[in-house]
Structure 1
Amino acid sequence: MSTDVTVYRNESLEARMGYARTMASAGDLIPKGLWSSPGGGVLPSPSPGKVLLVMETGAMLGIHPVAALSGVNIIEGKPSISPALMSALVRGAGHTLRVVTDGTVEGGDFSATATLTRSDDLEFTYKATWTPHRAMRAELCSYTKVGDVWKVSATGKGGGVKPWQAYTENMCKWRAVGEVCGEGAQDVIMGMHTPDELGQNVTNAGEMVSTPDTESEREPTEDWLALIEATDDKYDLAILSQRIQGFEAKDGTRVRDSEMTEAFRTAIMTHASTLTKDSRETPPPAAEPEPDENVVDAEVVPDEEPAAAAPEAAAATEPEESELAKYERESAEEYAAEMKLTGA
């Protein structure tokens, strides 16, 4: 384990939480899988809690927190690691891991075999082999012979090509690596799986991609200029600006602040100069209770309990906020404050 990881693990929980909060303030540099949308008017932002979970997972595996942010993914609450990181951890522990391939996909005889020999048991070798035929049995793809050529087919709901069709050879290799490491090096990978094993869309390197593989899962196209013109509140305009910056277009790209088109930027700035209402600065007035027609000349009788005791009684009835909820709320408020100071 490196000295940097040891230093991190030796810090107090409070110090590690502060480090996670600082890392989360990096904004778009943090993977989208570590963002959250608290709701209640709070803009989506990197979640310090998720960042902390990833860094703690990295510390458990013996890797630097920054390396964990790029190599560890949280999938439905379960940490996973890329095949490259899994291989590096196993080899770093002194074990021998090898992957060999044979045949061709088109010829119908392709196979990828991963072998692992532990440094503390050199007489035994773990072995795992994956082929397109095995992938078909696992319902990951279809593998059929068309004429004299074997073809792999795997498409998403929107008709897009999935990794098992596009990177068949690599997917077989990564599945073999994940299986053999799970059998022979559980003490190293601590039960981690690769993103593909957890059903995620991945690249040819086996790393999880954040963009959905179906058109229906993406945010629909909207008339942003019309929405900008229809906004009558500066705060609502700021939220709309954030939506435009994070919008995922049909081609899978995202419009970031530095890449926002001049038309959007000009429209937002021009419209903002015409607005006077800002719900961030002027809270709505409290609604006055409607008079009760059945009450005439009612006499106000003071409570027997002193007014000073009311806050204590209210506090006793309110549920106590958990440490995690308080941590997430304060972090979200700090991020929102930074966005306001920068004029977002």
Structure 2
Amino acid sequence: MTVSLPEQQLAPVGAPAAPARLSIDDKLAYCRALAGSGMLPRQYRNQPANLLYAVEYAGSLGLHPMVAITGIHVIDGKPSASSALISALVRRAGHKLRVKGDTTAAVAQIIRADDDDWVFEVRFTIEDARRAGLLGKDVWKRYPAAMLKARAISAVARDACEEALLGVHYTPEELDAVVDQEGHPVYIAGEMQRDHVEQPSAGPHRDFVAEAEQAPDAAGVRAVWEEAKAAGAPQDYLALLAAIGRDKPGARVAEPQPAEDVVEAEPVEDAAVSDAQLAADTAAARKEMYDAAQAAGLDAEEADEAFRTAHGCAAAVATVEQLRAQTVDLREAAGGAA
């Protein structure tokens, strides 16, 4: 049986989406047929239920399913999109978006279609990134101009026309995913995403990731890791290899050692893996903060507003230290209220 989805046009925001002529069963059959494609992002391969989620979400946005499959990433239950897709949603709604910047700062402006007398503007500087603890991330070191523009675009879109985003409020990087220069996630919630990791400059037929996956134990993965490093593999790629090694038999758990006893760092202590660990720590600290806010009688929106008032930035871009400090304050408030 051949199953096809109805064509969906990029209708203006507010216009009804193309009618869903297919039943859920037919859509699921479509997703099962598509799930076997090796060209899909990793989170959708052999996952027809995940594909069905993307198809349904695309319908709610008035997008073609493939736009959602390739451009929207669900992180900890929250949909996120690249700054390019956020820009497209803003412009599709009829608003004007202007962006400029360099490696020191980026400025994004939006002029709403229904209020052209007012300009919404957000400026995000390298100093803002430093205060937010972002400059230690590999992608910020390598592509500061692109990351500054992405931050400015998403921030001004939230301020000026949140209704055009239809629930996609943040980029993956703002939700603590480790991303490549185009904003595609490399690391999400403890899982390395192979698809968008830059390959090393060794021979075109050398696939270090495949070799690591086939290695029988952690020692074998370490040997592959060392060869990849010698071949000039970038930090994100080495982090992916290290993540594979941690799941292999014989993987060692790093323990604190005196400085004089440290001879050589394990791959899991590589800078990129440290970035990934920082992302995981930040996500855990943010969850603790929201739990403390709930205990203090605040909902998520109130918690966000309280955090912004106290620290001058959104919780989504906060450092671990800021989140923990807020958690302490909230717990004290909850104790006082009790």
Q: Tell me the TM-score normalized by structure 2.
A: 0.51
Q: 1:4, CA displacement in angstroms? A: 2.3
Which residue in the other structure is 2:145 paired with?
A: 169
CA contact (8 A) 1:112 1:173 kept: yes
Which residue in the other structure is 1:122 paired with?
A: 116
**Among 34, 57, 66, the residue aligned to 2:44:** 34
Which residue in the other structure is 2:133 paired with?
A: 139
**Among 173, 176, 179, the residue aligned to 1:199:** 176
Alpha-carbon distance in structure 2 between the residues aligned to 1:78 and 1:137: 25
Q: Secondary structure at the match of 2:8?
A: helix
Distance 1:222-1:3 versus aligned 2 partners, 3 A rule: closer
Which residue in the other structure is 1:97 paired with?
A: 97
The residue type paired with residue 16 of structure 1 is K
CA contact (8 A) 1:112 1:172 kept: yes
Which residue in the other structure is 1:258 paired with?
A: none
CA contact (8 A) 2:99 2:109 kept: yes
The residue type paired with residue 4 of structure 1 is Q
Q: Quick one: percent identity of the two aligned structures?
A: 31
CA contact (8 A) 1:111 1:131 kept: yes
Alpha-carbon distance in structure 2 between the residues aligned to 1:183 and 1:34: 32
Alpha-carbon distance in structure 2 between the residues aligned to 1:183 and 1:16: 36
Alpha-carbon distance in structure 1 between the residues aligned to 2:127 and 2:76: 29
Bigger Rg over Cα: 1
Alpha-carbon distance in structure 2 between the residues aligned to 1:168 and 1:91: 24
Which residue in the other structure is 2:70 paired with?
A: 70
Which residue in the other structure is 2:83 paired with?
A: 83
Distance 1:176-1:12 versus aligned 2 partners, 3 A rule: same
Distance 1:8-1:203 versus aligned 2 partners, 3 A rule: farther
Task: Note the 1:291-302 alignment, pairs <5 A.
Answer: none
CA contact (8 A) 2:94 2:113 kept: yes
Task: Note the 1:100-249 alignment, pairs <5 A.
Answer: 100-101=100-101, 105=103, 110-141=104-135, 154-155=136-137, 162-192=138-168, 193-209=170-186, 210-211=193-194, 221=212, 224=215
**Deviation string for 1:264-290 (max 9, x for gaps)?**
xxxxxxxxxxxxxxxxxxxxxxxxxxx
Q: 1:32, CA displacement in angstroms? A: 0.8
Task: Note the 1:250-261 alignment, pairs <5 A.
Answer: 250=225, 251=228, 252=237
Which residue in the other structure is 2:51 paired with?
A: 51
| 1:17 aligned onto 2:24 | no
Distance 1:219-1:134 versus aligned 2 partners, 3 A rule: farther
The residue type paired with residue 73 of structure 2 is N
RMSD (CA atoms):
3.2
CA contact (8 A) 2:8 2:62 kept: no
**Deviation string for 1:97-146 (max 9, x for gaps)?**
110226xx4xxxx21010111111112221111111001111112xxxxx
Alpha-carbon distance in structure 1 between the residues aligned to 2:81 and 2:133: 23
CA contact (8 A) 2:18 2:62 kept: no
Task: Note the 1:247-326 alignment, pairs <5 A.
Answer: 250=225, 251=228, 252=237
Question: What number of residue pairs does the alignment pair up?
Answer: 194
Q: Secondary structure at the match of 1:99?
A: strand
**Deviation string for 1:75-111 (max 9, x for gaps)?**
2222211111111111111110110226xx4xxxx21
Distance 1:18-1:119 versus aligned 2 partners, 3 A rule: same
Q: Secondary structure at the match of 2:164?
A: helix
Q: Secondary structure at the match of 1:79?
A: strand
CA contact (8 A) 2:7 2:64 kept: no
Q: 1:34, CA displacement in angstroms? A: 2.7
Q: 1:190, CA displacement in angstroms? A: 1.5
The residue type paired with residue 178 of structure 1 is S
Higher helix proportion (structure 1 or 2):
2
Q: Secondary structure at the match of 2:98?
A: strand
Alpha-carbon distance in structure 2 between the residues aligned to 1:203 and 1:98: 23
Alpha-carbon distance in structure 2 between the residues aligned to 1:199 and 1:126: 26
Q: Secondary structure at the match of 1:4?
A: coil
CA contact (8 A) 2:79 2:167 kept: no
Alpha-carbon distance in structure 2 between the residues aligned to 1:135 and 1:220: 37
What residue ranges of structure 2 are gaps of 5+ in the alignment? 1-5, 10-16, 187-192, 198-208, 218-223, 229-236, 241-338
Q: Secondary structure at the match of 2:115?
A: coil
